[in-house]
Amino acid sequence: MINTVEGTFGGKTLRLETGKVAKQAGGSCWLQMGDTIILGTATMAPLAREGMDFFPLTCDYEERKYAIGKIPGGFVKRGGRPSDKAILVSRLIDRPVRPLFPYGMRNDVQVIATPLSVGHDNLPDVLAVVAASTALMISDIPWNGPIGCVRVGKLNGEFVINPSLEETDSSELDLIVAGTKDVVNMLEAGAQEVSEEEIFEAIKFAHAAIKEQCAMQEELAAKVGKPKREITYHLVNEDILTAVRERCGAEIRQAIQNPDKAARESGITDLKNEIVARLAADFPDQESDLGEAVEKVVKEQVRSLIIEEKIRPDGRALTEVRKIDVEVGLLPRVHGSGLFTRGQTQVLTALVLGAPDDAQTVDGLEGDMVKRYMHFYNFPPYSVGEARPLRGPGRREVGHGALAERALLPVIPSLEEFPYVMQLTSEAVESNGSTSMASTCGSTLALMDGGVPIKAPVSGVAMGLMTRDDQFEVLTDLQGMEDFSGDMDFKVAGTSKGITAIQLDTKIRGLTYEIIERTLSQAKEGRAFILSKMLEVIDAPKPNLSPFAPSICKVQINPEKIGAVIGPGGKNIKQIEAETGAKVSIEQDGMVYIAAMDGPSGDRAIQMIKAITADITVGEDYVGKVTRLMGMGAFVEFLPGKEGLVHVSHLSETPIRRPEDVVKVGDTLPVRVIEVDSQGRINLSAIGLDQPFDSSQIKAREDRGRSGPRDRDRGSRDRSQRSSDADRGFRGAVSASATNTGDDEEESPKARFRPRR
């Protein structure tokens, strides 16, 4: 039986339906808004996974190119690994869904959102979260939802729910909010230096729509929802937990108060092993439970220390930022570099500048996009003192890199202001909390060190939270142990003027407005402090680029002459790049960008481009190269892609019968333009033989060059005929040059003098 509920959001109808497809899944939802359709499914394994010390939840966003009526490019038409966008949307689903599962679940749960049809008026990412939540709500899986999810834009000073792709591109705010009816538990934002107050108001505006989405899901679940399955939860033995608290709580509290991460973790590990051995006699064959109990008490002691004594494990105050060190220019051969150190978190970021053609083309369901600013993040195992195999970037690397990239995008200069592609790579060489915000700071340093004229420097800070009953404390500059033991990771990046990026993850049901407001205010102070330390080292972009960076200049040409610059099969542009060593990129509007490693190479490339696109006029001199020889003369390429004919009568002062008598292919020949006919065909003369061109002069020269009784005895009719044949042959050859495709095969004498018809 098919059941449906509908609601209106931002003037658009949202339809949630179940019972049509995927009926063997634990729960399935067919979500439709306009032309966008998402299939959300949720399924749980019947038994808990043995030996698992965490909840095995998997959330996937499965892109399908058919959703936009497109066949994937490349050789593999089926599609390959998930795109970065798919990974980011998978994380977008996971982050608000995960905290609402009951504590102690060990059954595998898989949530899949598949966009089946995508219209740009209704972006699929936020709708995928709603589809996933609905599938969980009507399934037999224990879950404490529902959640809603909406995007908020700001257009003409007004907040808009779920703007279209076009509206999002022109909006100064792109905020995604997810939450339950009473709290917010996920935020994702990019903004054009928007104030904390505006962000807070946008969150409240979004939450009103979220409440309506939750009501729709509850209505559908009431109609068709399955009874929740009874499962076994993995809980720590209360007797063991009480014993560890009472006997070892003070020791654990002392062990966690070590400012050095490595020493603290080593000390806690040693203490844990000692406690397990000490209590093993009282709880035989329960070493695993003892170990889990110690871990739980460690978290409790961290929380208690912060809430009761307002002291953090490393001795800092709740609003205090760790010691910051900043360096720039460490890597001489890259085009800009920055090393940002905050406590025991350290990130090295390198900048490389390239030509416009180096931009990355992203092929996604929202349409193709060209990225000229890219940020990649790496998290090697040595950064946390581990030894493990190196693999490709995972969801963490993609997510952290995207967040730091988003934080800097609002301050990146336009292509017109700075005609370079920028690639930043952040290496997390040491980690103890919030390497993503350290990457944001490192990116700012590398860009300014590289001389990129960013509009303003950006800094970032991660905020933590400790709650107990009605008490809570917000922590500035979250470190690893506090993240592990705490309730949220709230990252905020921005300039001195306002916020450019936000990302919130929670481990509890969600955040109240009071917590959000305090966090934003406290983060503003933290960002300002970090930024001041950065500006002490470098307060503005360097005035000059690195000597190893390419020099990029630009020249505007008539768009109708783009084809002439490119040439048949790219012949002309390849020739320019081969002769100058420069790299040439051409935009559709006729703007040409030339990237060269030195000034002379760029200047030469510009000269060649201007010469190709210039209008050829009679009387201009050039130095060309002989490309082909024919019976009536020599073809000379005097500009890249431009050829003209030098007739035999204009090759030498003295009469010659064949061009081979004075020139050969490959010779350099100074020439002058003596005629450009109505069809654009160009006639040349060797310099010094540039008299006006006409067939009577050719005839006269041929007559003067003839000698011997046989020639003198010929009648005037024969001489006139030969002159006419020569003239027709010349015109036919010019026509051949105008349509030449580069074939150098020699023509037969008959074809050579065949007149054009």
**Torsion angle of the four alpha carbons 614, 615, 618, 622, in this order, in degrees rounded to the nearest 10:** 20
Q: In what order do the strands lie in the sheet with 57-61?
A: 3-9, 12-18, 27-33, 36-48, 107-117, 57-61
pLDDT value at residue 328: 98
Report the C-alpha gap between 22 and 706 in whole angstroms. Answer: 94
> Is the confidence at residue 112, as pLDDT, over 70?
yes
Report the C-alpha gap between 443 and 373 in whole angstroms. Answer: 11
pLDDT tens track for 714-725: 333 444 444 444
Report the C-alpha gap between 241 and 491 in whole angstroms. Answer: 33
Residues 6+ apart with CB under 8 A from 391: none
Task: Tell me the pairing of strands 373-378 and 421-430.
Answer: parallel
Alpha helix locations (H) across 77-150? 84-97, 124-137
pLDDT tens track for 169-211: 999 999 999 999 999 999 999 999 999 999 999 999 999 999 9
557 in helix, strand or coil?
coil
What is the largest distance, in Å, between two alpha-carbon atoms of the chain? 134
Q: Assign 3-class secondary structure to 174-242.
A: EEEEEECCCCEEEEEEEEEEECHHHHHHHHHHHHHHHHHHHHHHHHHHHHHCCCCCCCCCCCCCHHHHH
> Is the confidence at residue 693, as pLDDT, over 50?
no
pTM for this prediction: 0.83
369 or 474, higher pLDDT: 474
pLDDT value at residue 703: 52
Q: Can you count the helices (H) and strands (E) in the chain?
A: 18, 29
CA-to-CA dists, residue 218 to 148, 208, 280, 755, angstroms: 11, 16, 48, 85
126 in helix, strand or coil?
helix
Partnered with residue 463 across adjacent β-strands are: 476, 490
Mean pLDDT lowest for which of 349-358, 404-413, 538-547, 636-645? 636-645
Cα angle value 414/379/174 (rounded, 5°): 40
Closest CA to 153 of 145, 164, 142: 164
pLDDT value at residue 391: 86
pLDDT value at residue 260: 87
pLDDT value at residue 708: 39
120 in helix, strand or coil?
coil
All domains of the chain in start order, with CATH: 3-224 (3.30.230.70), 238-309 (1.10.10.400), 324-384+394-537 (3.30.230.70), 551-613 (3.30.1370.10), 621-752 (2.40.50.140)
Closest CA to 133 of 161, 111, 107: 111
pLDDT tens track for 313-349: 999 999 999 999 999 999 999 999 999 999 999 999 9
Closest CA to 275 of 300, 305, 241: 241
DSSP per-residue letters across 146-182: --EEEEEEEETTEEEES--HHHHHH-SEEEEEEE-SS
pLDDT tens track for 564-576: 889 888 988 998 8
Report the C-alpha gap between 217 and 143 in whole angstroms. Answer: 13
Mean pLDDT for 499-512 is 97
Q: In what order do the strands lie in the sheet with 324-328?
A: 324-328, 336-342, 345-354, 421-430, 373-378
Alpha helix locations (H) across 385-462? 395-408, 435-449
